[in-house]
Amino acid sequence: MKCLNIIVYYDNRKEVAEYISEVTQISDGTVDVAVVINKNTHKDNLEDLCTACGKLVDYGENVGYLNSMLRYIRENDVSQYDYIILSNTDIHYEMKSFFSRLAENRYNPDIGCIAPSVFSTMTQSYQNPHYVERIPKEKFKRLARIFSHPSLGLLYLRLSEWKAKGETSEKKSSCYVYSPNGSYMIFTKEFIARIKGYEYGVKLYSEESCIGELLCKNGLRCFYDESIEVIHEESTVTGKINYRERFAAWRESIEYILHEFYS
């Protein structure tokens, strides 16, 4: 098995360096890491990161999270990889056998995305299974209205965080789901081949719904696999964005999903 793990550099040098080091230590040469620079405010010299990961890409602009992967697979030959992983950098691997277990597992040919067990240290709960069913159109419209008002958006965010705590504190059994949690997504060679050329219409948020829709459109499915697990330390990058900007980005992403897939 050979994997490519694509991550984003967003003024988070220490976190990126630590993440690359951890992947290198436990993957036994089976995982390459590609770093896409979305923000480097202080023009830091990143040669050491390039030495560590071997693949450092700067498109000269912030292309966003999902588009970092989409643009990379569009402009580079990734046919040698069995899996492409798109992940946050606030991820840790307490399961040191994560990649060897992934290599040993045998997945059905209709699976285009694998969603590992993701445990959030912030809410002390599991973030997968994520969306088991497709989000209704009316719920998306309601969310767009909520995020149009910062005070309502903040209330919604706080209630969601409160609800998440303990709600899924017990790990669920493996099953098919509509979409993965966006902090860590594993894509199969087949799915990557089918979406090569696609560009996400916004920079941030609602990536899970986009992936769910693209899987369905291409006749593939998402599988939540309880046997492989990562730890999510939660939002050290998006936490740098103020709430008004975050809510505006959320609303924009929801409106894009509605227009692109629900029209």
Task: Find tokens 């986009």 and name the residue.
Answer: 210
How many C-beta neighbours within 10 Å does residue 229 have? 19
Tell me the backbone φ, ψ of residue 257, rounded to 5 degrees: -60, -45
Above 60 in pLDDT, residue 240? no
pLDDT tens-place string over residues 168-226: 678 999 999 999 999 999 999 999 999 999 999 999 999 999 999 999 999 999 999 99
Which pairs count as long-range contacts for 56-65, CB under 8 Å and 24+ apart, including other chains? 62/10, 62/38, 62/203, 63/36, 63/38, 63/203, 64/38, 64/200, 64/202, 64/203, 64/204, 65/8, 65/182, 65/203, 65/204, 65/207
Q: Which domain, by its residues, includes 149?
A: 3-261
Tell me the backbone φ, ψ of residue 157, rounded to 5 degrees: -60, -45
164 confidence band (pLDDT: 50, 70, 90): low
pLDDT tens-place string over residues 61-85: 999 999 999 999 999 999 999 999 9
Above 90 in pLDDT, residue 152? no
Which is higher by pLDDT, 256 or 150? Answer: 256
pLDDT value at residue 241: 63
pLDDT value at residue 108: 97
**Among 6-20, 177-191, 243-257, the least confident range:** 243-257
pLDDT value at residue 246: 85
Domain with 59 in it: what CATH number? Answer: 3.90.550.10
Based on the structure, what is the number of domains in the chain?
1
pLDDT value at residue 163: 66
